[in-house]
Structure 1
Amino acid sequence: MALMITDECINCDVCEPECPNGAISQGDETYVINPSLCTECVGHYETSQCVEVCPVDCIVKDPSHEESEDELRAKYARLTGEG
């Protein structure tokens, strides 16, 4: 499942540089996560790095982009060219 940033985001800029896939960018109002690039850090780290650094806990699982661990690993392989 990809992650999403809620409207509680305070635009603190700490999440964007932590994303190994470049899935986080500045949106119109808050930062946004591109679900096509988000692997919840599967393949890179044990935990989602953006969630770890977010000071307001506004990064949650996106219910409209459900993916299994295997699907996230496959996306990681496609994005990195591994596998």
Structure 2
Amino acid sequence: MASEAIFLPAAASVQFAIYPDGYDGARIIARIDEEALHKRFHAPQGQEKLVQAYAQNSDSIDALAMERYRANPNEAICLHSADF
């Protein structure tokens, strides 16, 4: 499936979707902030570069988002630099 990730300027983060029960199940929206993408994943400046950094590292980012979701499905998922 193609990435659904987009940059949200107002939140300074990349929004993406995870599917805890597979693509036929619920679509959960999560975010990773710009700082985490720069510090942890060495993303260059620029909105498109941040989305690309997410896409290149989506396996580890999605895994952490999934872990957060499973720990508390009612809490918003926003990953920060300290989470990695």
Q: Same fold (TM over 0.5)?
A: no
TM-score with structure 1 length normalisation? 0.29
More strand per residue: 2
Instruction: Point out the structure with the larger helix share.
Output: 2
Larger RCO (CA under 8 A, 6+ residues apart): 1
